[in-house]
Structure 1
Amino acid sequence: MNYSQNVCDLEYGTDLEYEELEEFHWLGRDGVTYEASIALQCKIIRVTLDHFEQYFTTHQAADVAWCVFDALVAIEEINPELFSSFDSSAKAKAYVDTFKCFASDRISGTKFPEDGLGSLGILSDPDYLFIAGGELVDPDPRVEFRSREDAIFRMFVATEIGDTIEMVFGGYMLEFTAKQALWLWFHLSIASDSWHHRSARNPSSGSLKCGLQWP
């Protein structure tokens, strides 16, 4: 029997319930950029980084988002002035203010009920300020996996020396600045939360517990 988590055909730009795009700079490549996007459709979240795509359930995406948040908290603890160096645009300020609101209240690890497709946990490694990892079942709606084992990939979120965040998606690794990671946390959080609370608010304009507004 084939193992399939197909929910719907997630086509870029077609009936998306949530989508956000941003231009990222490649670390170590001066002036070279790529497009990052986060999109939600039919309970599936797609993260696109240049030509790489990774799909998550809303539960998995919430888990990844809060690991990114905890990594950012670890960075802020040793470099509290870092976020003040970000640009002063309205969106950037909203991201920083939202992060500081959650961080000051020590709101961490909001969990939705397990969906049985894996989760991430904090790992102990003296070489890292923060590292979390685990096995996730890939819900890619375009792929028909022969078995559950074929669909499993290892996911890691880590910061080593407190200036960048590494994310490993199976066999693919990318490194992000704190500003880029803040964007990923912010919009993964909205995309994963918007499914659970879609009936109560518009994900593009809903308010936070801290009293802030999504940009």
Structure 2
Amino acid sequence: MNYSQNVCDLEYGTDLEYEEFEEFHWLGRPDDTYEASIALQCKTIRMTLDDFEQYYTVHQAADVAWRIFDALVAIEEINSGLFSPIDSSTKTKGYVDVFKCFSSERIFGTMFPEDGMGSLEIFPAPDFLFIAGGEFVDPDPRVEFRSREDAIFRMFVATEIGDTIELVFGGYMMEFTAKQALWLWFHLSIASDSLHHCRISDPSSGSLKCGLQWS
């Protein structure tokens, strides 16, 4: 599968123009919704879930995205009809088609070179269908710390019995349906790939050109 798109051409120093929004419902409360978004912000990627915000480097975002993918693959292996009940909207079908293309060909996304800000490792746990975790350095902490070590938090992506996927950000945890996790995987992947392929085409002109190449 080849996918190529020019995503921005803007002045150096400004934010890349990528931001996607989706309405999520709280698990167990289908009538109670909140807004989720994935956006590029300067040199980081911002994930917003209701009033919670977490920032990632390119490598961190790609790492989280592909651990979500791993969790969805693990669930699909025990539930082949995982995405059958999902609505037939063009957008959602597109996410499912991309996922199935990657999972059927056992293609795993680009894991960008580590940046020294942490990574997630898959580890065996008898009580979990899938779990990966590690320590991340927050690239844009909401509180100013004296040292980088103070901005470290534990990040986990896990599914226990395959009914939901959990993301743990330090002391904060949220659960997602397969459809919600699919959306997070797709847009974290796009955002990290977009930011990774940014380049200053001509520093003297102050022009920043970004290209997304997904193959």
User: Which SS does the other structure have where 2:30 is aligned?
Assistant: coil
The answer to whether residue 167 in structure 2 is matched with residue 172 in structure 1 is no
Residue identity matched to 2:48: T
- Given that residues 63 and 109 in structure 1 are in contact (C-alpha distance below 8 angstroms), is that contact kept between their aligned partners in structure 2? no
In 2 relative to 1, CA 151–75 (structure 1 residues): closer, same or farther, beyond 3 Å? same
**Hey, what does 2:90 align to over in structure 1?**
90
Deviates more, 1:140-149 or 1:105-114: 140-149
- Give the partner amino acid of 1:185: W
**Counterpart check, 1:32 vs 2:32:** yes
Local SS of the residue matching 2:84: helix
Taking the aligned partners of 2:198 and 2:74, their CA distance within structure 1 comes to: 31
Q: What's the Cα RMSD here?
A: 1.7
Shift of 1:109: 5.2
| Higher percent of residues as strand | 2
Alignment of 1:157-168 (within 5 A): 157-168=157-168
Partner Cα distance (2:168, 2:142) in 1: 21
Q: Deviations over 1:91-123 (max 9, x none)?
A: 100000000000011112531111000000001
Could you say which residue in structure 1 is the equivalent of 2:6? Answer: none
Distance 1:136 1:75 in 2: 25
Partner of residue 52, structure 1: 52
Equivalent pairs: percent with the same residue? 78
Query: 2:146 aligns to what SS in structure 1?
Result: coil
Q: Cα distance, 1:141 vs. partner? A: 5.9
Residues 104-119 of structure 1: pairs in structure 2 closer than 5 A: 104-108=104-108, 110-119=110-119
Classify the secondary structure of the residue corresponding to 2:29: coil
Total equivalences in the alignment: 193
**Secondary structure of the structure 2 residue equivalent to 1:68:** helix
Deviations 1:43-85 (A, max 9, x none): 2011000000011111100000000000000011011112121
Are 2:149 and 1:149 aligned?
A: yes
CA distance, structure 2, for counterparts of residue 127 and residue 19 of structure 1? 36
Q: Shift in Å at residue 132 of structure 1?
A: 0.1
Q: Which moved more, 1:65-74 or 1:140-149?
A: 140-149
Which ranges in structure 1 are unaligned for 5 or more consecutive residues? 1-13, 210-215
Moved more, 105-114 or 59-68: 105-114
What is the distance in 1 between the residues matched to 2:66 and 2:126?
21
- Secondary structure, counterpart of 2:31 in structure 1: coil
CA distance in 2, matches of 1:67, 1:124: 14
Q: Distance in 1 between matches of 2:66 and 2:86?
A: 21
Q: Deviations over 1:100-157 (max 9, x none)?
A: 0000111125311110000000011011110000000001165432111210000000
Tell me the distance in 2 between the aligned counterparts of 1:132 and 1:173: 14
- Provide closer, same or farther for how the CA distance between residues 29 and 157 of structure 1 changes in structure 2, counting only shifts above 3 A: same
CA distance in 2, matches of 1:156, 1:112: 19
CA distance in 2, matches of 1:183, 1:47: 12
Matched residue of 2:135: which SS? strand
Q: How many angstroms apart in 1 are the aligned matches of 2:167 and 2:49?
A: 12
- 2:15 and 2:40 in contact (8 A); partners too: no
1:188-203 → structure 2 map (5 Å cutoff): 188-198=188-198, 203=212
1:134 aligns with 2:123: no
